[in-house]
Amino acid sequence: MTEASPETLVIRRRRPMLGGASAQVGLLAIVAAFWFVFSSLAPGFLSSFNLFALGRSLAVDIVIGFSQMVVLATGGMNLAVGSIGVCAVMMSGFLLQDLGLPIPLGLAGALALGGVLGWMNGIAIVKTGVNAFIITLASASLFLGAMLILTKAVPYNALPPEVGAFGRLRLFGVVSPLLVIAVAIGAVLVVLYRFTSLGRQILAAGANPRAAAMSGVPVGRVIVISHVLSGVLAAAAGLMVIARLGAAMPATGGEEWLLPSFLGPVLGGTLLSGGSVAVIGTMLGAALVTTIRSGLLVLQIGNFWLQLFLGLILLFAVLVDRYRSVYAERRSVGPR
Amino acid sequence: MSGLLRRLLLVEWSGLAAAIVIGAVVLAFLSPNFLTEFNIYVMLRSFCVSLLVGFAQMVTLGVGQMNISVGALGGLVAISFGGMMEVLGLPIIVAVPLALAIGALGGLINGLLTERTGINGFIITLATASAFTGINLGITESIPFYNMPPALVAFGEQRFLAFPYLLIAPVIVAALLGLFFARTVPGRQLLAVGGNPQAADLSGISRGRVIVLAHVLSGGLAAVAAVLAVAQLGSAQPTIGADWLLLSFAAPIIGGAALTGGYISVLGTTFAVILIALIENGMVLAKVDPYWVQFLLGALILAAVWLNRWRAVRTGTG
């Protein structure tokens, strides 16, 4: 699993560093098409209430996608995104409600816990050399179990009212500040991967660990840092859910975040084999998922078929991506 | 003595066997209810489905793949099986083979998609898992099929002393799988491809066909697990399989399977599932929070991974 096959190496060489721009234009067109279809079928889709609700859940989906994307960049994966998210949720509930700490401290504590849990994943992966899939599958269960044992699955319902009020805040009547935060996080990530040496090191380590190590990249440390970042981002997504619900619920996150966390980055053109990130693509991927979810809701098709749609879209996206790269390869090599 | 001990430690299931014996003795001392006929029957009943779930993942691990959709496919097979009997009125004897065929078909889709496209099996089966679950929920709208044939329900409940009739299926499947991997050409080919795909290619094994075979087997085994789960519960619940993912990896990995493929152990997986059943039962008897099971399962996988690693270093194979 961890070894890159020769085919993926070929694809990787043909990819621009921040994901194919053409892929993102295509994705944007698909999102626009869905908006057109949904708004013409159900006028309620474009109501300011629905747009506001859509933006709020989009913010969460974007950050969940980022949380997975930063680990995919190293060629690993993090199945514990949802577990870390819910641990952070309950931690902030505990800090704000039981300890009565001021809000900034409560949020910082939750983000710190996310970072620590991510760090534990990273250390376990680097020290044992076992693939990230199995380590994070086990730690997801470990973290979730520990959270349930400690909190007894009792939600924190009496958070300071400012938390919920922030979630209900509307800028210009339709935009949630949560969405602004998500986009700001995206901007920070673009700077990280494009302009800082740490970001370049992460991508180098993901593209070819051995070559990166030979050129002096501390591969182990870079992987641990990526997992810390993933943990902090998962915690941030959890905090956004708290703002949306006005309460810290133990049913947040968990396995429900698994599919969305991969959908955003993979639709956006992030490679599973590592070495590339697509920050804007991840945002567009999340936009597609949120649009479809919201549209099916407005059309009252219901949540039951949603899973099928999301699965088929993911399949479709990876197949298209695969054939596009095969086609690009053939064209550059010429007819055989 | 130390030589014998070391050799014992190097057998993948030796630690498991020791843990099971110690666990059983401790539980027998702590709880008078542990060794009762009924308690053993309850444990064996939950063991049946779990073992098949573990096997379903084990065959994909053997070929160096993974199948995230084991639980989702199990759920889809379970409600199809229930629906065929309740809505279509098919007899059990017809519904069972059809259910197994649906499982195998799901596996075939996974296998063909993975093999033809060369895309990472993780992402393919993550996508198909979502699709299978979507079909399941779309058909049932989360409402179970309750009216199962009395013969099926009876099969799920009846026992001989402490042995549930359900146990017949996993015993037969385990024996067949053991035979398949040890003695048959496709079984050996499956492990050869998992162990070293290039070498397998060079020795003329059709890698693609073997990978597809592993996925079909995995789907079929998930279907057997689903049919047993319906018999055990007495109804076809859409939630069957929802919690299989962790278990499916825990059983073969604790049982000593190599994550990189090429090595699996039917006996090891069986012992691992016994250990898991024992832990779950101990939790119930001790009236501990059920959440501890989730925590311990995670810890157990990490411990097993670490132990396998240590063993590989000791034997110089890692």
Give the nearest partner residue to B259 out of A130, A258, A311, using CB atoms. A130
What is the pLDDT, as a whole number, of residue B6? 66
Token pair 């024996």 is found at: B175
What is the pLDDT, as a whole number, of residue A290? 92
**Minimal CA separation from A287 to chain B, in Å:** 18
A72-102 residue pLDDT tens: 999 999 999 999 999 999 999 999 999 999 9
A41-66 residue pLDDT tens: 888 888 888 899 999 999 999 999 99
Token pair 């973290």 is found at: A143
3-state secondary structure chain A: CCCCCHHHHHHHHCCCCCCCHHHHHHHHHHHHHHHHHHHHHCHHHHCHHHHHHHHHHHHHHHHHHHHHHHHHCCCCCCCCHHHHHHHHHHHHHHHHHHCCCCHHHHHHHHHHHHHHHHHHHHHHHHHHCCCHHHHHHHHHHHHHHHHHHHHCCCCECCCCHHHHHHHHCCECCCECHHHHHHHHHHHHHHHHHHHCHHHHHHHHHHHCHHHHHHCCCCHHHHHHHHHHHHHHHHHHHHHHHHHHHCCECCCCCHHHHHHHHHHHHHHHCCCCCCCCCCHHHHHHHHHHHHHHHHHHHHCCCCCCCHHHHHHHHHHHHHHHHHHHHHHHHHHHHCCC
Question: Per-residue confidence at B318, pLDDT binned at 50, 70, 90?
Answer: very low
Which 8-state DSSP code applies to residue B163?
E
Search chain A and give the residue with CA nearest B116.
A319
Asked if A6 reaches chain B (Cβ–Cβ under 8 Å), the answer is: no
CATH number of the domain encompassing residue A133 = 1.10.3470
Contact B131 A142 (CB under 8 A): no
Which of A126-135, A180-189, B140-149, B284-293 is predicted most confidently?
A180-189
Whether A4 shows a pLDDT value over 60: the answer reads no
State the total domains in chain A. 1
Give the nearest partner residue to B246 out of A77, A137, A259, using CB atoms. A137
Question: Which of A:121-180 have CB within 8 Å of B?
Answer: 124, 128-131, 133-135, 137-146, 148-149, 152-153
Search chain A and give the residue with CA nearest B249.
A134
B115-174 residue pLDDT tens: 988 888 898 999 999 999 999 999 998 899 998 999 999 988 888 888 999 999 999 999
**What number is the average pLDDT over the span B52-76?**
95
A13 lies in some domain? no
B210-247 residue pLDDT tens: 999 999 999 999 999 999 999 999 999 999 999 899 99
Whether B86 shows a pLDDT value over 50: the answer reads yes
Whether B308 shows a pLDDT value over 50: the answer reads yes
The percent of residues above 70 in pLDDT, for chain A, comes to 90
A336 lies in some domain? no
Tell me the ipTM for this assembly: 0.86
Mean of per-residue pLDDT scores for chain B:
90
Mean of per-residue pLDDT scores for chain A:
87
Residue A176 domain boundaries: 20-31+44-325
Contact A137 B249 (CB under 8 A): yes
Asked if A251 reaches chain B (Cβ–Cβ under 8 Å), the answer is: no
A128-144 residue pLDDT tens: 888 899 999 999 999 99
Contact A259 B259 (CB under 8 A): no
Asked if B296 reaches chain A (Cβ–Cβ under 8 Å), the answer is: yes
**What number is the average pLDDT over the span A3-15?**
44
What is the pLDDT, as a whole number, of residue A19? 45
What is the pLDDT, as a whole number, of residue B4? 66
Using an 8 Å CB-CB cutoff, list chain B residues near A7: 118
A276-314 residue pLDDT tens: 889 999 999 999 999 988 888 888 776 788 889 888 988
Search chain B and give the residue with CA nearest A302.
B138
Search chain B and give the residue with CA nearest A301.
B138
**Minimal CA separation from B85 to chain A, in Å:** 23
Least confident segment among A99-108, B240-249, B297-306 = B297-306
**Minimal CA separation from B238 to chain A, in Å:** 12
Token pair 């691990």 is found at: B61
What is the pLDDT, as a whole number, of residue B229? 96
Question: Per-residue confidence at B317, pLDDT binned at 50, 70, 90?
Answer: low
**What number is the average pLDDT over the span A194-218?**
92
A264-279 residue pLDDT tens: 998 888 878 888 889 9
How is domain B37-311 classified at the architecture level of CATH? Orthogonal Bundle (1.10)
Q: In a 3-state reduction of DSSP, which class is residue B236?
A: strand
A12 lies in some domain? no
Domain locations along chain B: 37-311
